[in-house]
Structure 1
Amino acid sequence: MIELLRAQSLAGVRHGFAGRKGGVSTGVHSGLNVGLGSEDEREAVLQNRDLARDALLPGGTLVTVRQVHSPDVVTVTGPIAEEARPSADAMVTDRPGIILGILTADCVPVLFADRKARVIGAAHAGWKGAIAGVTDNAISAMEALGATRANIACAIGPCIGRASYEVTADFAARFEQEERANARFFTPGREGHCQFDIAAYVASRLADSGIRTIGMLDEDTYGQPDRFFSYRRSCHRGEADYGRQISMIALTD
């Protein structure tokens, strides 16, 4: 059975954050691996993507992009063939029946909705995209479709938690150079290292952009191997590859 986590901040909007439960993949990809870039069997990945789609909106059209840790956004107006997926890390649409799908395996998935304007968005916020403004750009792209910033609600899905995300002091310094207040997202760790709360950082970026409603699921992907895929956990275990989970949002008629 596929597990779709919902956010109260997006109540009434068709959305869900899937983990690894359900699906047909085996081995290190066991479960609902939807990553076309993984080394999993292609047919299994395609079947998992269909299962995820049908769990959210049977008959819907799932659209994903080639995620490259950028601040780039695509406005989706119709189906996008798998081989034609553009390189980007966020999508927006105002078309019913289109499912925007973001893949993650520790990075931060963010779903957006302006219920009144009927405009939705989805963003993949790894640290590079987050600091470069991928969520800011997604909001601007939604406004171009008629959304109003004050009416946009967001939800931050499962991602790596502070306790699991060790970074170097130099890494933290990069964020502090961008904005001194970013120091609050890092807590001391072992010598020369810090623990980074990337979900809180992304939430802060959203709030600074004028978003008033921000939900956070507070689910650590690294620390729950039975529920979520995790790139960092796979690296620490010495596994050859890792799966990706999907976060989805759609408008219905």
Structure 2
Amino acid sequence: MKAMYRIRRILRAAACAGLAVTATAATLPAAAEGPSPTVVELFTSQGCSSCPPADAALASLRDHPDILTLTWPVDYWDRLGWQDTFAEPNNAVRQTAYNKRLGRGGVYTPQMVFDGVDECVGSDRTHIRDLLEKLKAGQQTHVPVALKANGDDLTVDLPATETGAEIAVRLVWYLSDATVEIGDGENAGRTLHYTNVVRGSDIIADWKGDARQLKLDLAAGRALGADHAAILLQKGYGHGPIVGSASIEIAAPAANP
């Protein structure tokens, strides 16, 4: 875990300084430009018997072109007998910060958070649908984020725009699919599938609406087992409304025969 936090500190320093890294000749496709997707975040645990239906509900949203889903495994149910293989302490910190801003007294699983502005029980598909329709009807203005992966180099382009407040630029490394056999706890004996599992995350810059380009090293995300990267533009010191987002595949290019 210490190695993971070291990688995050290196990433943050490089991004804030605008440091470029050497790119190889192999090129991955750039993320499509267009309206930012709605970000749906699920706080879940392998040790929570109520969570598998929510994991499935999130998976059902993943392929929607207007939605970016992220799974944040939390560790506070590890005491029930099974240590979550993907949980990080900072994931529960993020959930706690969300609930404080949303006026909730504590944390629970499964919980879904929508664009940082609303939440519901993660297995309640009717409520999920209602909140997605509410966000769509609200026509919240989003900042376009352009991502491009080239070999080991990830380029993030932010346009000049009026933000109204300082925005946290959050980098998220995630794994698109994972299957885990649970050996103990409330889900003992089950094989559970997870989608878009967060493997590392950090705020890499504070942004005030100036045109800016950040360059990041994809090798750091791959070292965490991630195959995708996402950028979230978020108010409230990184735990408020999300005003822009984008994601891109970062799987290592195939070797030339």
TM exceeding 0.5: no
Q: Point out the structure with the larger strand share.
A: 2
Q: Point out the structure with the larger helix share.
A: 1
Q: TM-score, normalised by structure 1?
A: 0.25
